[in-house]
Structure 1
Amino acid sequence: MKKSFIIIIACITGFLIISCNQDKGTRTVFVGSDRSSPQALYATGKLNKALLKSGYTVIEAKNAAGCIIDLRIAENLPAEGFSLVSNGKNITITGGDARGMIYGALSLAEDLRNGIRLGKVCDRAEKPYYPLRAIKHNTPWDSYRPSSAIDQHYETVRDLDYWRAFLDMMAENRFNSLGIFNLHPFVYMIRPKNFPEASPFNDQEMKEWEDFHHELIKMAEERAIDTYIFPFNIFVSEQFSKAHNVALTNFYPHYYCAGDTSEIVRRYMRECVTQVLQEYPGLTGIGFTIGEGMAGMTPQQREEWMFGTYIEGMRLAGRKVKLVHRIPFSSTTESLGATSVDLERLTRKAIEKEASLDFIEGPIYADLKYNWSHAHSTPKLVKVHGGKMYDTFYNPEPEGYKITYTARNEDFFALRWGVPQFIRDHIKLNSQTYNGGYFVGSETYIPALDYFTALESPVDWKYAFERQWLFYKLWGRLLYDPATPDKTFEDEFLRRYGKIARSLPEAFSLASSTQLRLASLYDCGWDFTLYGEGFLALQGDSTKYISVNRLISQPALDPDYISVKDYVEGLLKGETFGEKKVTPPELSELLRNDCSKALQLVKNINTSRNVSLMYEVADVKTWAYLGLHLAEKLEGAVALQTYRLKGGEDNREKAITHLKKALGNWDKVIEITRPIYKDMPLTHYNGSSYDRNDNNLFHWARIRPEVARDVEIAEKASPKNSADEH
């Protein structure tokens, strides 16, 4: 018979007493659950798999089991929350709903993977911090931006095995919603009954698309993951456009075009919405995207068009629907415009009207892009798409909707990233009662095909998102519970690679902070205005390396960061900077200290027997040398600008010295990445053009001549000439 015992864990504030059970005679396990529930079957299957891998025998005879694990639901627990109680030879996992039950089962499975025996399992109770924890996932068909970087994922994203793995990752990391984005998803899901000419597919092709979407939604339902489609507007199929001679450019690959408000387009869109919702009863909801295909329309006209098509289509579907109303980003008739208080008032009024409708299941999520397309910058909300966010949406506090934020990543696709404190800081700054959660994802990148890995040696991943496991685990688990300890992520490193990887979490946190510091220093907006891991930015009409001149003249994004230009000018005027301000020399010191420490932490990790571990360590080193590159470049930029404004040959020589060191650190990046990373298609190379650019391969080695040009700029510099003149 098992005996109970007490473990006392010392905490900073006192002692936490946790009851556990010994693990004697419990090699056979029975898992009980409601076998009629798809979610219970999924939870049971994942738990059984973990038990078998841990050496247990799973049996169907409850009376013969040495340990009984019971999965159940109790409405007295919070939605999505769970409790795990170990009592004698029984473990009871209770969810506040089916989703909470799954999370409880996966929590126990995580313990088992980390080597914890059933008799050592500790009691716990958890509940979600935010109600919405979503992934933004674009498709390679009818994609928002045309690019081979997007097209290459077509076969992978059509493969349900990919989605099975991706949805498993979402459930494990406690993401509860999937948003699928493309210009016009409807003709891939239905053949419009009254507009069959809109379909680009024959009967067999259409059935394959329908089967694909039905199975995808079914798999999401089994994992208790909500599904949303996010069309852009106003877009139709090319076949519909040509058949009716309307919306002449409102189809792929166009995405900035005039809005067509003709009656046949309105009717077509309304009927598409209704038919999709009726034929896919498992589809949770729809997200509005108001802007790109609506040039020439006022904000009021855009809201009225959405209400007359999408909202009316939802009503006619005859069932409850959830809604994400993405906040419009143009207060003018242009596709790209600025924010304004009047636009916010108009939008709030429209959302409140939608929230009053009985067929819309609340709350509505009113979504904004956090720091536009570059959330991995400063945790402070500096701007949204279009500019400043005013207080209209939360003053007074809303009742029928919650504000959510999209944390876009357009900055790192190849390199692994992981800074848990940054995400905690994000959450801390956005914990008001009106905040509903986050979408996390990209517009210019799809995490499907692994188009990065150059080595043919076996690795632990098949898909691109599996390379970035830490990114998803950090965002998902911390959005569910920001108090999740770092040990949770450290344990995953140990499980994957053993004790040799103990220093990797800290090393990643230090080294990949380079991205956050660059994007906080370098003011950025829409997608192509920065590509952090490549030190690229849109300059004029093309995307290219951020030169020393550009670094000098570019304003900072974070209001506490001081640009090189402002710093040097202020210094020469005798100005001082407040304690909270981050000057270029201070930033350089931070980068140098953190990146040097990261290199020391991974210095003695032997990766010769594990290629997957080698890639993890290589990414730490790459981020670290990119950070050291930026540190030297900043010092060189300060010296160069000082020379231009003040003179002094020693300033010019100092600039040359630092920029040569910056180039040396870039060469270290090339030395690490050239053998292990392929040349990678990059959507950012479209530049300011709306057309695709197939001359779009990126690798750090390919842009070395641009990096080396910084030294030449300093060597040819002369006094009294600002960076703007070079």
Structure 2
Amino acid sequence: MIPRILVLLACVFTVTVRAERVYVLHEAGSPQAAYAARKLGEALRGQGHEVLAERAGYDRLVSLAIHRERLGPEAFLIIPEGKVITVYGGDARGLIYGTLALADSLRQGTPLGEVKAAADQPRLEFRGIKYNLPWETYRESSALSQHIPVAKDLKYWEAFLDMMVANRFNVVSLWNLHPFTFMVRPANFPEASPWSEVEQEEWRQLYRGIFRLAKERGLDTYIVHWSIFVSKELAAAHGVAKKNFYPHYYVDGDTSEIVRRYIRESVTQVLNEYPDLDGIGLSHGEGMAGMTPLERQKWMDDVIVAGMLDANRKVKLIHRVPFSSGLSSAGGTSNEVEQVTRAAMEQLGDRFDGPIWVEMKFNWSHAHTTPKFVKVHGGKLGDTYFKPAPKNYKVTWMARNEDFFALRWGVPDFIRQHIRLNAVEDYVGGYFVGSECYIPALDYFTAVKDPVDWKWAFERQWLFYQLWGRLLYNPDTPDAVFQGEFNRRYGAKGDNLLRAYALASNTQMRLGSLYDSRWDFTLYGEGFLALQGEYTKYIGVDELIGHAVMDPAYVSVKDYVATLAKGGSYGPERITPPVLADLLERDCREALGLVAGIDTTGNATLRYEVADVQTWAQLGLHLAAKLRGAVALQRFRTGGAAADKEVAIAQLEQAVGHWDEVVKITRPLYRDMPLTHYNHNFFHTNPDNLFHWARIRDEVAQDVAVARE
């Protein structure tokens, strides 16, 4: 085992780097080695070094090689010896990671002669991005379709996949309702294609390009789709699957033989025509209403699995866990569903390349709540998948984020605790990170006209991706690495930013732990919005008082007041509303203090970084005041004194004041933003589904009126 040494600890060096002539030796026939050498060359040139085309006359030789006997998969070693720096990888991925680690050190200002020995290896095998494609999305929304031009640009994908490998993600999964007719013209069902030959070829070149770029970077690729869906053209041509096409998704399963054959053959054809595509993900989800758990599993085996096994090569499989509650209503208990699914996976043995990756939604669609495992999609999960320990599959947690898209986020200890609590067993393979309601492509947020250092949306959230990716690879990666990136970007002005983000953006997890949520629309944390009845709207004081909690350690306002009224109390292990309010106030005020002295004049990028800390902090102070007001209001309503009502009014007025600070900070910086959570919400007054904190100020102020009444 390689010791978990700090990998080229990121710091800012104030040194003069002597320019050297460098030759990079690598395996010419390997696309991954060529990619690593190219990225290292960019870093060397960026520091003023000359990269030689021939070996003769070098000052420094950098040797890139794979050493499987010494290293495990994805591990790397950096060994400086005199004029030679050797980078070994346990495989092609490890070689890329080691080379990029060396490149990072150079960008931090390290002279070639001062490069330190380093090593690292992965903690988790599967470190994936869930990426919803904007065509035939699961949700139909302008917030998603607006990304189509960007997502059809291979320059965008080159940058996005560069980000992934730099942060040591190793899987990109592309999700949409029915991907097959975008990728192939089905050989026996050409009528299913809606495209001209020119259009079909454009789609082919896009998918081939994405998979080629991913392969070059050592990334595995999957397409993941929902279940019995076809193209609208196929449905019309054969009079089948009459609603099983975009934009419908809550529809009955169509098990007719023509649909079975069409989908099975499409699966096989896609895998044969795209050799750089590693695998397919299947889902017992929408498009299968009215079918029992056993019928759904048999359909999967007969169609998707059979189609994959008919391909001319061995491929990889993602198997989503069935939504227990939905399947139970179709004719089986949750335990029966789990037993059927486990048995089906075990019967496949080793027919797929590597373990089957079993995807489970962590705390439904809101993983950024509590790191405690409370539920999956549909509710509670038994231990059927875990006991006895599986032999041919591994669990991969789906860490969905439907809670913050505009504001930057970064709480490294939350991710470390997540891994510590949920990824220690051998049957856990890793994580997906991604969203259903958000696509990180078009920057539809930025309002200022001053130049910023990003082009696409994912670049704004660099800290989010760096934290998740690097910590999934090695949870022991120290905060100094992430702080070093702030300093590389902003010099001494970045000194306090990691600490400030860790304090302020923890507001999201505290709100999510306090307010129970389920599918994607049921909470939008940065907007303090939740699905209430048929509409998504601001979480008002009445809703906050009575709503259940997500984290069982938290206590709702209603339960807290009722317990105290009966003479009861809570121990120090419980997070009551007053305790939570104090924690929020303490951390958010410290965060505001940490960024108070940062001069952002002339640097719009830094202005956004600072403003997002301030916004999270003001949202946290808003929640603290709102909790105190809610407790006082509930006391008054349940027999308290008139003074309780006055306290409630004063605290809720203070909460509105903090919201006004949020508006003051964000109005100049953020556009009104399309929001998927608003689908069909207030259609006549907000037809474009636009969100901004300023737009819901009246809803926030209504709390004061509620208390006065």
TM-score (norm 2): 0.96
1:351 corresponding residue in structure 2: 345
1:37 corresponding residue in structure 2: 30
1:616 and 2:609 aligned:
yes
1:394 corresponding residue in structure 2: 386
1:62 corresponding residue in structure 2: 55
CA distance in structure 2 between the partners assigned to 1:589 and 1:484 by the alignment: 30
Identity percentage of aligned residues:
57
Q: 1:350, CA displacement in angstroms?
A: 1.1
2:282 corresponding residue in structure 1: 288
1:146 and 2:177 aligned:
no
| 3-state SS of paired residue (2:353) | strand
Of 419, 423, 433, 1:427 maps to: 419
Q: 1:578, CA displacement in angstroms?
A: 1.9
1:721 corresponding residue in structure 2: none
- Aligned 8 A contact 1:148 1:694 in 2: no
Of 512, 515, 519, 2:508 maps to: 515
Q: 1:332, CA displacement in angstroms?
A: 4.7
Q: 1:119, CA displacement in angstroms?
A: 1.2
Question: What are the Cα deviations for residues 565-618 of structure 1, in whole angstroms up to 9, with x where unaligned?
Answer: 000000101111122100000000000000000000000000012000000000
Q: 1:342, CA displacement in angstroms?
A: 1.5
CA distance in structure 2 between the partners assigned to 1:338 and 1:514 by the alignment: 39
Question: What are the Cα deviations for residues 384-423 of structure 1, in whole angstroms up to 9, with x where unaligned?
Answer: 0000111111111111111110000000000000000000
1:235 and 2:229 aligned:
yes
- Counterparts of 1:618-633 in structure 2, within 5 Å, are 618-633=611-626
Of 640, 659, 683, 2:676 maps to: 683
CA distance in structure 1 between the partners assigned to 2:590 and 2:596 by the alignment: 10
CA distance in structure 2 between the partners assigned to 1:75 and 1:357 by the alignment: 23
| 3-state SS of paired residue (1:436) | strand
Which AA in structure 2 matches 1:376?
A: H
CA distance in structure 2 between the partners assigned to 1:363 and 1:117 by the alignment: 42
| 3-state SS of paired residue (2:252) | coil
CA distance in structure 2 between the partners assigned to 1:411 and 1:78 by the alignment: 37
1:193 corresponding residue in structure 2: 187
CA distance in structure 2 between the partners assigned to 1:340 and 1:113 by the alignment: 52
Which AA in structure 1 matches 2:668?
A: P
Question: What are the Cα deviations for residues 125-172 of structure 1, in whole angstroms up to 9, with x where unaligned?
Answer: 111010000000001101000000001000000000110000000000
| 3-state SS of paired residue (1:507) | helix
CA distance in structure 1 between the partners assigned to 2:579 and 2:527 by the alignment: 23
1:91 and 2:85 aligned:
yes
Which AA in structure 2 matches 1:259?
A: G
Of 395, 398, 402, 1:410 maps to: 402
CA distance in structure 2 between the partners assigned to 1:708 and 1:322 by the alignment: 52
1:119 and 2:107 aligned:
no
CA distance in structure 2 between the partners assigned to 1:188 and 1:507 by the alignment: 44
| 3-state SS of paired residue (1:368) | strand
- Counterparts of 1:293-372 in structure 2, within 5 Å, are 293-332=287-326, 340-354=334-348, 356-358=349-351, 360-372=352-364
Question: What are the Cα deviations for residues 502-543 of structure 1, in whole angstroms up to 9, with x where unaligned?
Answer: 100000000000000000000001000000000000000000
Question: What are the Cα deviations for residues 19-66 of structure 1, in whole angstroms up to 9, with x where unaligned?
Answer: xxx999761111000111111110000000000001111112323111
Which AA in structure 2 matches 1:189?
A: M
CA distance in structure 2 between the partners assigned to 1:289 and 1:54 by the alignment: 48
- Aligned 8 A contact 1:129 1:482 in 2: yes
1:183 and 2:177 aligned:
yes
CA distance in structure 2 between the partners assigned to 1:364 and 1:169 by the alignment: 26
CA distance in structure 2 between the partners assigned to 1:453 and 1:538 by the alignment: 26
Which AA in structure 2 matches 1:303?
A: Q
Q: 1:339, CA displacement in angstroms?
A: 7.2
1:650 and 2:643 aligned:
yes
Which AA in structure 2 matches 1:632?
A: A
CA distance in structure 1 between the partners assigned to 2:72 and 2:228 by the alignment: 40
1:110 corresponding residue in structure 2: 104
Which AA in structure 2 matches 1:148?
A: S
Q: 1:652, CA displacement in angstroms?
A: 0.2
Q: 1:331, CA displacement in angstroms?
A: 4.8
Tell me which moved more, 189-198 or 328-337. 328-337
2:12 corresponding residue in structure 1: none
- Aligned 8 A contact 1:538 1:687 in 2: no
Q: 1:647, CA displacement in angstroms?
A: 2.7
Structure 1 residue ranges without an equivalent (≥5) = 1-9, 17-21, 717-726
1:134 corresponding residue in structure 2: 128
CA distance in structure 2 between the partners assigned to 1:30 and 1:97 by the alignment: 22
2:40 corresponding residue in structure 1: 47
Q: 1:271, CA displacement in angstroms?
A: 0.2
Q: 1:333 to 1:507 in 2, by over 3 A?
A: closer
CA distance in structure 2 between the partners assigned to 1:153 and 1:364 by the alignment: 31
- Cα RMSD (Å) of the superposition? 2.0
- Aligned 8 A contact 1:368 1:405 in 2: yes
CA distance in structure 1 between the partners assigned to 2:16 and 2:192 by the alignment: 63
| 3-state SS of paired residue (2:129) | strand
- Aligned 8 A contact 1:296 1:334 in 2: no
Of 596, 609, 613, 1:603 maps to: 596
1:555 and 2:548 aligned:
yes
CA distance in structure 1 between the partners assigned to 2:669 and 2:203 by the alignment: 36
- Aligned 8 A contact 1:415 1:533 in 2: yes
| 3-state SS of paired residue (1:63) | coil
- Aligned 8 A contact 2:173 2:224 in 1: yes
1:71 and 2:40 aligned:
no
1:170 and 2:145 aligned:
no
Which AA in structure 2 matches 1:319?
A: R
Which AA in structure 2 matches 1:677?
A: Y
Q: 1:335, CA displacement in angstroms?
A: 8.6
Which AA in structure 1 matches 2:340?
A: L
Q: 1:337 to 1:449 in 2, by over 3 A?
A: farther
TM-score (norm 1): 0.94
Q: 1:386 to 1:237 in 2, by over 3 A?
A: same
Which AA in structure 2 matches 1:620?
A: V
Q: 1:689 to 1:185 in 2, by over 3 A?
A: farther
CA distance in structure 2 between the partners assigned to 1:338 and 1:668 by the alignment: 51
1:381 and 2:373 aligned:
yes
| 3-state SS of paired residue (2:270) | helix
CA distance in structure 1 between the partners assigned to 2:495 and 2:505 by the alignment: 17
| 3-state SS of paired residue (1:317) | coil
- Aligned 8 A contact 1:459 1:612 in 2: yes
CA distance in structure 2 between the partners assigned to 1:264 and 1:399 by the alignment: 35
- Aligned 8 A contact 2:350 2:392 in 1: no
1:447 and 2:440 aligned:
yes
CA distance in structure 2 between the partners assigned to 1:151 and 1:638 by the alignment: 42
Aligned residue pairs total: 696
Q: Which structure 1 residue ranges, 4+ long, deviate > 2 Å from structure 2? A: 22-26, 330-339, 687-690
- Aligned 8 A contact 1:338 1:386 in 2: no
- Aligned 8 A contact 1:189 1:276 in 2: yes
CA distance in structure 2 between the partners assigned to 1:266 and 1:427 by the alignment: 40
| 3-state SS of paired residue (2:324) | coil
| 3-state SS of paired residue (2:56) | helix
1:706 and 2:699 aligned:
yes
Question: What are the Cα deviations for residues 298-350 of structure 1, in whole angstroms up to 9, with x where unaligned?
Answer: 11101100100011111111211100100000355589999712211111111
CA distance in structure 2 between the partners assigned to 1:485 and 1:452 by the alignment: 31
CA distance in structure 1 between the partners assigned to 2:256 and 2:131 by the alignment: 31
Of 653, 656, 676, 1:660 maps to: 653
